[in-house]
Amino acid sequence: MTEPQPDYRRPPGPHQPVTLGIDAETLATLQALQQEYGDMVSMVQPNGRLAYFVNDAVEVRRILARRHSKYHKGPGFERVKMLLGNGLIVSDGDVWRRSRTMIQPAFSRQNVHRLMTVMVGCTDRRAASWAEAVGQGETINITEETSDFALELILISIFGDDYEERILTEGENPFAFLSRDSTRDLSVVLKVRHLRALLLSIITDRRAGRGSRHFDFLSMYLDATDKEGKKFSDAELLDELMTLIVAGFETSANTLNWVWYLIAKHPDVEANLIDEAQRILPNVSAVTAENLAAMQYTQQVLEEALRLYPPVWLYTRRAHAEDDLEHHDVPPGTDIYLSPFILHRTAHYWPEPERFDPDRFVADDTPKKDRPYFPFSLGPRRCLGEYFSFLEMKVHLGLLLPRFRLQLVDEAEPQLELAINLRSAEDILMQPSTR
């Protein structure tokens, strides 16, 4: 005899099956569903699994923060797992909880501040390269420049002196393909697996005490212990390092790419940024945690760029336990689709949502935690590297903007590449000049 099914309260939605993925077609589908049915939509996928699209800010927060324990990672993470293994971004349950607890101390503000010299050094190398381009009358590919900057920075922050001594042994960065190839297909996965052998040799030498002891993320990860005093195994450490490398550069690289584009289109914003940088960071020695914290307008610009172009445009979750939202129920097994890109461009949350306006983020009496805004996710799975990313982007902009003006070669707005990460579909070319 068939068990009676509970009478679940479901949001409105279409009767025909809906195909969802992580691609441009899915964005168009979700936007059309929102237009027709509102901010809570129920649908059935071709495999028969129930799915909800949730664009209600209160319910998004409930799912990602207050009720996070009822949800695991959803569809689409298979490709990420092939690339990163079972690191912090992919893992769930006790494995995730243990890793998060072990890794979190490495990202304390005190530790991040010790890496500001790395941020300055990487920015100085960009400045030298850009000055040479100006002298030669060359254009620069700002998409490549921001990727190279962020990738170099995270690798030095992870490996310290081993970056030059062990990674750049052949003169080229073997990780460079990560910033050049955004497909994350099988060929990229195979290249990553080849790199894991290099990383394992560095880990083995560090464990054996060979070479100098560095202050870097690798040392902090090697020292990390769980509540039982156990450290990461080599396999766990490899997964977490690959996660840190990929996640650690892509967010900052993509955000800076969009920021330089937006600045070039908005000279008033550019002028305000330059004024703030000249007042607060008149020279390299002024790069302190206190001064970077005082760069409030730069913070607003970065947050507004992240509103328009969140690095992860679509999050998925799968309910492993029954949940109840304010007006709807979530049966076990339901796939949940949450899109910062759509929420951040929803007019009843953000008036004139397509307009770039850093003044949206002027400090006011509304607590930041209550904003309909989640470029770094929310709750316990919120990105650990958020503070690190903001700091490096402030150093980059604060030291380069007063020295260089970058003009767009093509004024057309770049198309979006909607894969695991949100990127510009075409590289953005700019003509540099000195101020």
* Per-residue pLDDT tens digits for 235-255: 999 999 999 998 889 999 999
329 three-class SS: strand
Distance (Å, whole) CA 62 – CA 68:
8
Is residue 14 in some structural domain?
A: no
**pLDDT for 211 beyond 60:** yes
Write down the pLDDT at residue 369: 66
Is residue 2 in some structural domain?
A: no
Is residue 413 in some structural domain?
A: yes
Distance (Å, whole) CA 399 – CA 387:
18
Distance (Å, whole) CA 292 – CA 392:
10
Is residue 12 in some structural domain?
A: no
Whether residue 285 contacts residue 279, with contact meaning beta carbons closer than 8 Å, is answered with: no
**CATH code, domain carrying 322:** 1.10.630.10
Q: What is the pLDDT of residues 15-57, one digit of tens each?
A: 999 999 999 999 999 999 999 999 999 999 999 999 999 999 9
Distance (Å, whole) CA 159 – CA 39:
44
Question: What average pLDDT does range 137-165 have in this prediction?
Answer: 95
| The pairing of beta strand 335-338 with beta strand 50-54 | parallel
Distance (Å, whole) CA 121 – CA 125:
6
**pLDDT for 351 beyond 60:** yes
Beta strands in 31-156 (DSSP E): 40-44, 50-54, 71-73, 140-141
pLDDT confidence of 181, banded at 50, 70, 90?
low
Write down the pLDDT at residue 200: 93
Is residue 13 in some structural domain?
A: no
Write down the pLDDT at residue 213: 67
Helix (H) or strand (E) segment spanning residue 97: helix 93-103
Distance (Å, whole) CA 81 – CA 131:
40
Of 89-98, 290-299, 418-427, the range with the highest mean pLDDT is 290-299
Helix (H) or strand (E) segment spanning residue 404: strand 404-408
pLDDT confidence of 3, banded at 50, 70, 90?
very low
Write down the pLDDT at residue 1: 34
Q: What is the pLDDT of residues 68-86, one digit of tens each?
A: 999 998 888 777 777 788 8
**pLDDT for 262 beyond 90:** yes
Cα-Cα end-to-end distance for the chain: 79
Q: What is the pLDDT of residues 282-328, one digit of tens each?
A: 999 999 999 999 999 999 999 999 999 999 999 999 999 999 999 99
Whether residue 63 contacts residue 71, with contact meaning beta carbons closer than 8 Å, is answered with: yes
| CA angle at 187 for the pair 183 and 192, rounded to the nearest 5° | 95
Distance (Å, whole) CA 125 – CA 351:
40
Q: Is 199 exposed, middle or buried (0-12, 13-18, 19+ CB in 10 A)?
A: buried
Q: Which domain holds residue 233?
A: 24-434
Mean per-residue pLDDT of the chain: 92
**pLDDT for 152 beyond 60:** yes
Write down the pLDDT at residue 86: 87
**Residues forming a β-bridge with 422:** 418
Is residue 3 in some structural domain?
A: no
Is residue 307 in some structural domain?
A: yes
Write down the pLDDT at residue 183: 62
**pLDDT for 186 beyond 90:** no
Q: Shortest CA distance to 26 belongs to which of 227, 357, 313, 358?
A: 313
Write down the pLDDT at residue 170: 67
Distance (Å, whole) CA 273 – CA 404:
12
Number of domains in the chain: 1
Q: What is the pTM of this model?
A: 0.94
Is residue 16 in some structural domain?
A: no
